[in-house]
Amino acid sequence: MPVADHAIHPHGVRDAEHRYGCHNRAPFRETVTTEGWRGPVSWPFRMSRECRYDRSLSDSACAGCMHAGSGERYVQEQEQRIKASR
């Protein structure tokens, strides 16, 4: 089915100064705490603490970020681990 061609919305256009929301973010806390109906509830933080974006070195929105490159390193480490296990 054909799609009608239309102009790009201004929010869809990124300029050279565009940065992602994770740019130079602060470190995550060790635990997550929220207020539940029985009171505060805490659990350990289980997500990745480093950037996992595997194109951060070539993406202009990551330029200057202190975490840039950690995604590429992670992919290389995983590829090496897979090769070593074969």
d(CA 56, CA 6): 30
Rounded Cα gap, residues 64 and 47, in angstroms: 23
On average, the pLDDT of the chain sits at: 89
Domain ranges of the chain: 51-86
Please state the pTM of the whole predicted model.
0.63
**pLDDT tens-digit readout, 67-83:** 999 999 999 999 999 99
Which amino acid appears at position 6 of this protein?
H
